[in-house]
Structure 1
């Protein structure tokens, strides 16, 4: 009798568990609509939508290399496999043309597609959920007014069981906290606007925070740095710890132009973000900078002047790798980065002594800069750097790193970088 009761109890619990799981995972479809005409939206609302979409960096993630804007197909490498960005043009077959505004809002706020399937959290709906209703409407009006592009993204390549989308529902239970952000009365309007943009629409923590084993942002470690597409997204709460501590004004300039005096130029995944931010009102970027600067840990430290760093480097014996690197630097780099080079004396570019990449704890970004450079972007030639991945082998890149680290940084030498150069080169070629 007892065994029968236990069996019945276990069965009942299993039924209840399955019912709860089904309730958590199930999402109904929202009926498709006829694609709305671009003329049906208010002109002012579409203009505001352009601002919202730029602040959300939508085109950055939803545009493949050499692809049409917002047509998807960009691969995002994750520890669990590759996810391809979807088409968010108003094409009714392959994009979001038959999505109602309600379906669009649900995707942004809860990560659920129009047909009810779970979206992977590489799409930062955990931050977009804080967007205002007006911003959602504006973004919808803008995107629905773009040129429809018929383009189907490649199938995602994720490991089992993460390729089973309904499981994302349980991830959402752990990490999704829907609802608007409430203003903090202890701070002024600019700070609160910055917090809304950084924590919400701008989703800065998605890249600049470490992730846990299941891809969620680690609790209590927001803005402490992360890895994106092989690049290190540096901590946003340690800008006072840079070789030359950042100021709010420098951060505004950097976010709007992709470069800042005494710090250098944006590269990798951050470069297109700055190009988007160049299109929004300066007041938005000022608010972002105000909030980020309020996150800093401790006071700005005493820093070693660039000249003193160079003197310290000259006072010690150089290694063979540094000697080889010096020759390579003279051949390929000194024209722009050497002491007294035109880029510094005329272009007013900072010394490498202030470079975030050269002074970082790891050589990851310095490697990526040498391998990939900064692509030419129209007339913006001042932010250009040629790629050397096809010029130098792994050992030569490592020698260059040894030389620039020794000459322009007061920090200890990086360990042998050849293995990491080879690894990043392989990963970059696979993207």
Structure 2
């Protein structure tokens, strides 16, 4: 009896494995001779360059500045480390022998030319919304880049999670193969913004928390905010805790310039998104994205409370620091006040008012700690402005005291917990400022 049960179990297991691989099987698409760069129209390539910026392709597929799009960029996940692939037209290590059909399948289905499933760190679940015309232009752009011979490192993911056939099961659970469908009721700008934000720009990939299998949470958790590469991407919903509403005008300025006087400056991965990606989009597309995101956040509807919130923030900013005996106040006076102090009814964009900044009002302190530790370069945030790094000047306890004092005196949000441990974790190289969106 036991032997029969064992044989039956083994038979079921074999059938399950066969069924899984049958489900996962995808045909190999024949290789092609690498197309000549001059076979693509110049205006088509230019449009593809803009679209590559909208999708932040260079941010994820560039590990070395002198080898753009050659891949090898390490991406830490809860399941192990993945490395981005080489998407230059090198025929041996890149996509030089990929036909446009193979490229489109990878973008929309998450399947490589050889039929293997791509891991969902590549956001094909967003790219499947992109139109045929835009994928055609993107293919033309990539196929006209300088080919770079650079093999992609094997993913450092333990067995059995490294078995690509298992991705077919993940897709059954979480992947919805669909085309973009305009809403139609909110205007052409909203529809254009939705197409860009949900498709190539894949905004929810960073701004949504993920479940235990690495899929974006849906429903009211979508766009609810998440930690990505040791930075906090705030909620893009009405739950965003910014004191002043994110109106269409504010979002548009932020996405175009890298910061605003009423919301502070972009840092970390978001700075890359703005300055290395969205900068290639025309103003009309930036405005469209702002229309869409502001609608999601209810920003234009909430703007009536902005005057009172601004007045409260500026009142707090004007309280003399030297009268406060808190150690955090002394640290602020010594290290921060000379650059961040604002006087009057309006803050200056070049002197970010911390009480208005999402880094201080968010439920997670990662972004604030990252900026204090590692500073900001002149190519981040508002171009030309910089903030020094305090990793060597302040210890973990001092940075925790500074962050706690700012949170307590400049916001109405509850205190952060276990700040010294958080600072210690983010001080390490793995928790450093080099993040990807």
TM over 0.5: yes
- The residue aligned with 1:336 is 339
Whole-angstrom CA distance in 2 between matches of 1:407 and 1:8: 68
Aligned in 2, Cα 1:173/1:210: closer, same or farther, shift over 3 Å? same
Give the SS at the match of 2:296. coil
Alpha carbons 1:310, 1:408 under 8 Å: kept: no
- The residue aligned with 2:254 is 254
Alpha carbons 2:29, 2:114 under 8 Å: kept: yes
Give the SS at the match of 1:151. coil
Whole-angstrom CA distance in 2 between matches of 1:67 and 1:98: 23
Aligned in 2, Cα 1:348/1:14: closer, same or farther, shift over 3 Å? closer
Alpha carbons 1:126, 1:176 under 8 Å: kept: yes
- The residue aligned with 2:234 is 234
Alpha carbons 1:336, 1:344 under 8 Å: kept: no
Alpha carbons 1:239, 1:245 under 8 Å: kept: no
Whole-angstrom CA distance in 2 between matches of 1:182 and 1:344: 41
Aligned in 2, Cα 1:349/1:316: closer, same or farther, shift over 3 Å? closer
Aligned in 2, Cα 1:333/1:152: closer, same or farther, shift over 3 Å? farther
Deviations along 1:196-224, whole A, 9 cap, x unmatched?
11111111111111100000011212111
Whole-angstrom CA distance in 2 between matches of 1:64 and 1:176: 28
Note the C-alpha offset of 1:192: 1.2
Whole-angstrom CA distance in 2 between matches of 1:378 and 1:183: 34
Note the C-alpha offset of 1:408: 2.2
Deviations along 1:319-345, whole A, 9 cap, x unmatched?
86xx3233332333223112459x965
Whole-angstrom CA distance in 2 between matches of 1:379 and 1:265: 5
1:412 aligns with 2:414: yes
Give the SS at the match of 1:201. coil
Whole-angstrom CA distance in 2 between matches of 1:319 and 1:264: 25
Alpha carbons 2:271, 2:380 under 8 Å: kept: no
Give the SS at the match of 1:108. helix
Whole-angstrom CA distance in 2 between matches of 1:93 and 1:248: 46
Whole-angstrom CA distance in 1 between matches of 2:10 and 2:78: 37
- The residue aligned with 1:216 is 215
Note the C-alpha offset of 1:308: 3.8
- The residue aligned with 1:101 is 100
Aligned in 2, Cα 1:364/1:14: closer, same or farther, shift over 3 Å? closer
Alpha carbons 2:321, 2:330 under 8 Å: kept: no
- The residue aligned with 1:398 is 400
Whole-angstrom CA distance in 2 between matches of 1:102 and 1:278: 29
- The residue aligned with 2:49 is 50
After TM superposition, the score normalised by the length of structure 2 is 0.88
Deviates more, 1:385-394 or 1:242-251: 385-394
Note the C-alpha offset of 1:260: 1.6
Aligned in 2, Cα 1:310/1:418: closer, same or farther, shift over 3 Å? farther
- The residue aligned with 1:36 is 35
Note the C-alpha offset of 1:80: 1.1
Whole-angstrom CA distance in 1 between matches of 2:352 and 2:133: 41
Alpha carbons 1:309, 1:410 under 8 Å: kept: no
- The residue aligned with 2:370 is 368
Note the C-alpha offset of 1:9: 8.5
Note the C-alpha offset of 1:409: 2.0
Deviates more, 1:365-374 or 1:122-131: 365-374
Note the C-alpha offset of 1:297: 5.7
Give the SS at the match of 2:250. helix
Deviates more, 1:138-147 or 1:239-248: 239-248
Q: How does 1:268-307 map to 2 (within 5 A)?
A: 268-275=268-275, 276-296=277-297, 300=302, 302=305, 305=309
Give the SS at the match of 1:390. coil
Whole-angstrom CA distance in 1 between matches of 2:214 and 2:147: 32
**For structure 2, which runs of at least 5 residues remain unmatched after alignment?**
none
Note the C-alpha offset of 1:234: 0.7
Two-structure CA RMSD over aligned residues (Å): 3.0
After TM superposition, the score normalised by the length of structure 1 is 0.89
Aligned residues: 425
- The residue aligned with 1:128 is 127
Deviates more, 1:232-241 or 1:57-66: 232-241
Note the C-alpha offset of 1:78: 1.0
Deviations along 1:11-59, whole A, 9 cap, x unmatched?
8866654443222111222122111111000111111101111111111
Note the C-alpha offset of 1:156: 1.5
Give the SS at the match of 2:232. strand
- The residue aligned with 1:353 is 355
Aligned in 2, Cα 1:107/1:383: closer, same or farther, shift over 3 Å? farther
Deviates more, 1:245-254 or 1:171-180: 171-180
Deviations along 1:219-239, whole A, 9 cap, x unmatched?
212111112101111111137
Whole-angstrom CA distance in 2 between matches of 1:90 and 1:53: 15
Aligned in 2, Cα 1:186/1:394: closer, same or farther, shift over 3 Å? same
Deviations along 1:329-387, whole A, 9 cap, x unmatched?
2333223112459x965x65442121111122221211111112222329964342222
- The residue aligned with 2:143 is 144
Whole-angstrom CA distance in 2 between matches of 1:152 and 1:352: 44
